[in-house]
Amino acid sequence: MGFPPKRLYAITLRKPLSYTLARGADAAELLAGTELTPEILADPYRLISENQARLFYLNLLRLTGPDGVGLEIGWHTSLSDMGPHGMALATERTAGDSLRKTWELRYNYNLLVDWRYEVSGSQLIHRLDCQERDEPLRIFLLERALATLQAHTEELLGPDSRPLGVLFDYPAPANMERYRDVFRCPLHFKQAHTESRYDAHRLSSPIETCDPKAAEVLGALRTSLHEKLGSRGNVLLEVKMALRRTPGRFPSLEQVADSLAMSSRTLRRRLGQYDVRFQDLLDDERRRVAEDLLLSTSLTIQQIAEKCGFSDARNFSQSFRRMQGISPTEFRKLRMKDG
């Protein structure tokens, strides 16, 4: 029952949001450019795109700095923070039962990290992989996933359920003492893989909060939520988020279609159902970026033109005038005057 979704539930952002707001971050800055609102995030089972989550995390790192924040968010994530998916884990008979159910429905709580596990001899090995290109964000996502795994293991089986060892595919961080506090085992950095290793005999450990009736009810709800992830998403929103994935670069129709696992012909057809062309969305995103740079930076018109994908300032100015009725320079002067 597994499939890699292009969407995820808003509940996956709630702990990072509350953690960051508690440390003085501004909600508007956290949500800037994501098309998310506090109202959307207040609904835990509102479907959002992976690109929206990614942009949210990039904002979070920009506001907090990258050092160790993923570790802290993961370590402070309880099973109840994961909704019925997390609560159901505590109702299974054994740790092994919980692990198998988590694997079957692993995308219900998607942390933008690929996870698989295996039993090798006397060891249970969790291997995590993240294809994120932005290295600070990649480390944040791996930190969060590893710390969440450890926090939940201890919540289910007790505080003595420490790993045998943890391997990281990135260099040792500045906050090594905090890593030692969380994992309390040998830590190995600059490894070929990121892995967390446990004693496989713990799989047969009983869970004290086992509740077969609750497991049945929560299991049905988890399955329903899993099926909802596979439903068709809002292609307009998905294209907008794809256009925002890499600031300063605008992918082609073919590249966006490939990122959404469909052909360019299918993408054109689905956009046509909304009476929208890809070029319309591209122009709108270029306009949004241009307006933001004109008002929030001192970049020259030529520099802004380059960041918006134009070969020169003249072409950019002509396009901007068609959309806004005035030149970029006039727009900047008028808005600055009004502000």
C-beta of residue 241 within 8 angstroms of C-beta of residue 35: yes
Structure confidence at residue 231 as a pLDDT band (50, 70, 90): low
58 and 164 in a single domain? The answer is: yes
* Structural domain ending residue among the three candidates 229, 251, 267: 229
Least confident of 47-51, 163-167, 173-177, 200-204: 47-51
How many domains does the chain contain in total?
2
Percent of the chain clearing pLDDT 90 (strictly above): 56
Which residue range(s) make up the domain with 138?
7-229
322 and 275 in a single domain? The answer is: yes
Average pLDDT value over all residues in the chain: 89
Other C-beta atoms closer than 10 Å to the C-beta of 188 total 11
pTM, 2 dp: 0.75
C-beta of residue 124 within 8 angstroms of C-beta of residue 117: yes
Write the CATH number for 189: 3.90.1520.10
C-beta of residue 204 within 8 angstroms of C-beta of residue 187: no
213 and 302 in a single domain? The answer is: no
* Structural domain ending residue among the three candidates 196, 229, 262: 229
224 and 243 in a single domain? The answer is: no
Average pLDDT over residues 30-40: 92
Residue 153's closest CA among 141, 166, 140, 171? Answer: 166
Provide the 8-state DSSP code for 9: E
Q: What is the pLDDT of residue 2?
A: 43
Does the residue 2 lie in any domain?
no
